[in-house]
Homo-oligomer: A and B are copies of this chain.
Amino acid sequence: MSRNIKSANIAFRKHDHRRCQRELLSAARRVCELRKLRLTTRRRQVLEILLISHQPLGAYDILAELNRAASGERIAPPIVYRALEFLLAEGFIHRIESRNAFISCVHPGHLCAAQFLICRDCERVAELENSDAALLAQADVLGFAVDHSVVEITGVCAECQKHGG
């Protein structure tokens, strides 16, 4: 649990974000090599755009970013959605359902059951990994076979409470 709190702090505080990006990208490369997957240019571009932001981005934000970067190209939605599909399936990013947005995972490739704390002021998102034992136990009692969980907590982070008023 102290590990979780650490990683949450990172998202909500100043840190060497360049280093974050580099480390997470090379982690993704390693995972793809292991799994014999192709981290193609497009996929890498989309992942990089998400790595640069600790905030979740919509598919069309990513699209705009791609089109800005490569002036001349006119990239269309399916390209972005397909890259996102790949990155989601391999556990490099998460989808934030309550925002129709996507964010890079802090432990790429783990296919983790993540929980998110989402600040509605600064829009930053902390990813925790602490699964809800009580809820899962209850699902089990009901004979409900869990596939996938979405846990998204919206509120105001400590920083924004100080600064924002």
The stretch from A48-56, A64-72, A86-94, A154-162 touching chain B is: A154-162
The A interface is mostly helix, strand or loop, or mixed, namely mixed
- Mask, A143-162, CB within 8 Å of B = 1, is 11111111111111110010
A143 to B162, CA, bound (A): 10
| Chain A contact residue count (CB 8 A cutoff) | 40
Q: A98 to B150, Cβ gap below 8 A?
A: yes
Q: A135 to B156, Cβ gap below 8 A?
A: no
Q: A155 to B147, Cβ gap below 8 A?
A: yes
Please state the number of chain copies in the assembly: 2
- A135-B115, A135-B128 as given contacts; A148 in contact with B154, CB under 8 Å: yes
A155 to B145, CA, bound (A): 5
Check A134 for interface membership: any CB of B closer than 8 A.
yes
Q: In the complex, which of the residues A9, A138, A147, A152 has the most CB atoms of chain B within 10 Å of its own CB atom? A: A138
Residues on A close to B: CB < 8 A?
A: 1, 4-5, 8-9, 12, 97-98, 115, 117, 119-120, 126, 128, 130, 132-135, 138-139, 141-158, 161
